[in-house]
C-alpha cells in the first residue's frame, strides 16, 4: 500500500539532494553552456573521470546482505509502493520473480559509483525502484541489486576506459544474478531494467541466459531505453501481448526530437538507426499509431499525490523511435523538469516507464499467466 506521508517526505529529501548537486553543475557551467545543444557536451566534459584506474574502483557489494539490494521480497522498499486500486501481490504468493536493474542514478566524476553512497541509495529508490520496479509488484516478487554503476559517459561516449567501467558494473549485476537464481530455485522470472540497467540486462540475457538452461525459466524481458537492434540478444523482440521468451524495448520521443549528446553512442551519426521498438500499448512491433485512449494509464510516484492518469500518452513505433504526439501534463517538480530540459526538448527518456506504467503492469501479469499456462506440469 502506498504510504503517502512517509513516501512524500523521503521523496523530497532525495529530490533536494539530487537537485543540489545537479543544479551546482548547471549553474557553474551556465556561462559555458547557454543552450541545450552545448549543455550535453559541457556536462560530460565536466564529469570526465579521466583514465580508468581499477585501484580507484569502490568496494563491491556483498549480495549475501540486504544492504547490497535496493529491493527484495523480504524487505520494505521502493518496489513495494502501490495504489489502492492496484495492490501489490504478497511476495510469498507470487508465482514469478523479477530481476530489475536500475538506471543511472549517479551524477559525479568517477567512472563507477559507490553502491552504498547515501545520495546514490536515495536516488536509486526515487528514480528506480519506486517509479519503475514497482510496476511489476502486481505479478511478481521484485529483486533489485545495487551495483557500482558506470558514469553516463561510458554509454554516450564509448571508450576503452568507459568499457572497463561498464564491465565493472556488469560484474556486479552478474554476481547478483547468481544469488537471485539460487534463491528462486527454478521459478519463472522476468528481466527488467531501464537505460544503463536495460543495457546491462540485455548483456545478462546474452551471456548468462539465452542458449542455456535458464532460458526455460525466462518469461520475458522489459528493456526500454536500451539501444537494441535485431540479433543483439539472441531472442526475438515481442510481437504480441502474451508472447513469452522475448524482449521489449522502446525510446519515447516527440515527433520533432533531434538526437543530442545524451543518446547512447551519441558520436555515431546513425545513432538512432536500426533500433528496435515495441509499442508499450499494443505490444506489437508494427508502425501503427495507438491513440492515447488505449493507454492504460501513467503513474508518477515521484509526485506528491500519485494517481492513475488514464489515456495519458499515445504511442507509435517509427523507425526505431516511439513517437509520442499526445501527452498529458507531466506534473514534474522543478528538479525533474530541469532533467527533462537538459536531456533535450521532446526527449521522454526519463519517463519511459511512467508514461505506460499500467500498460507494463498489466502486460507483465498477462505474460506470466501465459508462461505458466504453457509450462508442463
- Which tens digits make up the pLDDT trace of 117-131? 999 999 999 999 999
* pLDDT at residue number 25: 38
pLDDT per residue as tens digits for the range 285-318: 999 999 999 999 999 998 889 999 999 999 999 9
In this prediction the pTM is: 0.89
| Residues in the chain with pLDDT values less than 70 | 1-46, 266-273, 377
- pLDDT at position 272 is 64
Q: What are φ and ψ of residue 270, in 5° steps?
A: -105, 30
Q: Give the CA angle between residues 63, 350, 14 to the nearest 5°.
A: 60
Scan for cell 557551467, then name that residue: 29
For residue 33, the tally of other CB atoms under 10 A from its CB is 20
Residue with cell 531494467: 193
What percent of the chain is helix, strand and coil (3-state, nearest 5)? 40, 15, 50
pLDDT in tens, 42-66: 566 667 899 999 999 999 999 999 9
**Pairing verdict, β 189-193 and 69-71:** unpaired
User: Which pLDDT score, from 0 to 100, does residue 271 have?
Assistant: 60
- Residue 302, sorted as left (phi over 0), alpha (psi -120 to 50) or beta, turns out to be alpha
pLDDT of residue 76: 97
- Phi/psi at 191 (5° precision): -100, 130
The per-residue pLDDT for 41 is 57
pLDDT at 338: 73
Cβ distance 298 to 328 under 8 Å? yes
pLDDT of residue 39: 52
Sheet holding 140-145, edge to edge: 69-71, 140-145, 96-101, 189-193, 218-222, 246-248
Q: How far is CA 240 from CA 95, 236, 262, 276, 324, in A?
A: 22, 11, 31, 15, 20
pLDDT of residue 174: 98
Cα angle 262-267-269, degrees, rounded to a multiple of 5? 110
pLDDT computed for residue 270 by the predictor: 62
Amino acid at each position: 500500500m502506498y504510504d503517502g506521508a512517509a513516501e512524500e517526505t523521503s521523496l523530497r529529501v532525495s529530490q533536494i539532494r539530487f537537485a543540489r548537486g545537479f543544479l551546482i553543475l548547471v549553474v557553474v557551467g551556465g556561462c559555458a553552456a547557454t543552450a541545450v545543444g552545448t549543455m550535453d557536451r559541457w556536462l560530460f566534459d565536466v564529469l570526465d573521470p579521466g583514465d580508468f584506474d581499477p585501484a580507484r574502483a569502490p568496494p563491491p557489494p556483498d549480495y549475501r546482505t540486504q544492504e547490497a539490494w535496493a529491493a527484495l521480497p523480504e524487505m520494505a522498499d521502493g518496489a513495494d509502493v502501490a495504489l489502492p486500486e492496484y495492490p501489490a501481490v504478497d511476495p510469498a504468493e507470487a508465482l514469478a520473480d523479477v530481476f530489475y536493474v536500475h538506471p543511472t542514478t549517479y551524477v559525479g566524476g568517477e567512472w563507477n559509483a559507490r553502491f552504498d553512497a547515501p545520495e546514490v541509495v536515495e536516488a536509486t529508490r526515487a528514480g528506480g525502484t519506486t517509479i519503475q520496479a514497482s510496476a511489476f509488484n502486481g505479478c511478481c516478487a521484485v529483486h533489485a541489486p545495487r551495483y557500482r554503476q558506470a558514469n553516463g559517459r561510458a554509454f554516450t561516449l564509448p571508450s576503452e576506459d568507459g568499457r572497463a567501467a561498464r564491465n565493472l558494473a556488469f560484474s556486479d549485476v552478474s554476481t547478483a544474478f547468481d544469488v537471485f537464481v539460487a534463491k528462486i530455485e527454478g521459478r519463472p522470472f522476468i528481466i527488467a531494467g531501464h537505460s544503463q540497467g536495460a543495457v546491462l540486462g540485455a548483456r545478462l540475457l546474452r551471456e548468462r541466459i539465452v542458449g542455456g538452461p535458464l532460458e526455460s525459466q525466462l518469461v520475458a524481458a522489459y528493456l526500454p531505453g536500451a539501444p537494441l537492434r535485431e540479433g543483439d540478444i539472441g531472442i526475438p523482440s515481442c510481437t504480441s501481448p502474451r508472447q513469452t521468451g522475448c524482449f521489449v524495448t522502446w525510446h519515447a520521443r516527440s515527433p520533432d526530437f533531434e538526437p543530442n549528446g545524451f543518446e547512447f553512442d551519441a558520436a555515431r551519426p546513425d545513432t538512432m538507426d536500426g533500433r528496435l521498438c515495441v509499442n508499450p500499448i499494443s505490444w506489437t512491433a508494427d508502425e501503427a499509431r495507438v491513440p492515447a485512449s488505449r493507454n492504460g494509464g501513467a503513474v508518477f510516484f515521484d509526485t506528491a499525490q500519485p494517481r492513475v492518469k488514464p489515456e495519458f500518452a499515445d504511442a507509435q513505433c517509427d523507425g526505431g523511435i516511439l513517437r509520442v504526439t499526445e501527452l498529458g501534463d507531466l506534473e514534474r517538480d522543478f528538479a525533474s523538469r530541469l532533467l527533462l530540459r537538459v536531456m533535450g526538448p521532446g526527449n521522454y527518456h526519463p519517463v519511459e516507464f511512467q508514461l505506460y506504467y499500467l500498460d507494463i503492469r498489466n502486460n507483465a501479469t498477462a505474460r506470466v499467466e501465459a508462461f505458466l499456462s504453457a509450462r508442463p506440469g
